[in-house]
Amino acid sequence: MITIRNLHKYYQKLHVLKNINLEFDDEKRCIALIGPNACGKTTLIKCMLDLVTPQAGEIIISGRNVRNNCEIRRLIGFMPQTANFPKYLSVENTFRLIRSVRAENNDTDEELYRLFRLDRIETKRMGTLSGGTVQKVSATLAFMFHPQIIILDEPFAGLDPLASAILKEKILKEKGKEKLIFITSHVLSELDNLASHIVFMDEGKVLFYKSVHTLLEDTGEYTIANAVMKILIQTEHE
């Protein structure tokens, strides 16, 4: 479904992505993109969305190059780490605006809208909402148009425990459908029981891409956090 070949990205002299090669050819996967700050995760996501142009390499989604192909974006639901909505719009009008821009039919996924109880704050302006509530709006929009690919950048940041649990249940439900889901998170414990595969990046390179089952089996650990730490410690001593 997604092929990334020989991807390089520079910001002036800073080499942010260094020959990234990845293949995600199976749906019903939840891929965790993890690694330290400034390792290239967000830049890779932006390249997949054609928001950033790499200097070399290509990204193919469903047989089509993402470069200057706006139709590809219709396949993707995206929840950015920090969402920026027009502050003067109400919650209700924000969703109305997005629906009109997408020009989709009325078959939208309203489940998170109800579960997050956004209907109770429809008249509030986006500029008055807390960071956690803005996250709820952003998460709802990521799933709303039944995308085949869902990209969630630090989706649990700022969410209260109940909202986090609701979002995790939604991710698990969508994971069981014909969907490919990507999650970035600095809190590895959030990924247990969610991620099926791990892509670990550092300094612009992919250190490993493994299924969670293989990762835990290879390390003899029971959690993703412990398994990743064990691999990193072993790598430092090699």
Tell me the per-residue pLDDT of 117-127, one tens digit each, with 9 for 90 and over: 999 999 999 99
Q: What are phi and psi of 54, to 5 degrees?
A: -75, 155
pTM of the shown model: 0.93
- DSSP strand E in 37-162: where? 56-61, 64-65, 76-79, 149-153
Tell me the per-residue pLDDT of 1-11, one tens digit each, with 9 for 90 and over: 899 999 999 99
CB of 207 closer than 8 Å to CB of 174: no
- In this predicted structure, what is the pLDDT of residue 1? 84
Structure tokens at 169: 């249940």
Q: Name the β-bridge partners of 149.
A: 76, 180
The CATH number for 81's domain is 3.40.50.300
Number of folded domains in the chain?
A: 1
Q: Which domain holds residue 133?
A: 2-236
Predicted confidence (pLDDT) at residue 238 exceeds the cutoff of 80: no
First-to-last C-alpha distance (Å) of the chain: 35
Pairwise CA distance, residues 61 & 1, whole Å = 6
Predicted confidence (pLDDT) at residue 52 exceeds the cutoff of 80: yes
Predicted confidence (pLDDT) at residue 101 exceeds the cutoff of 80: yes
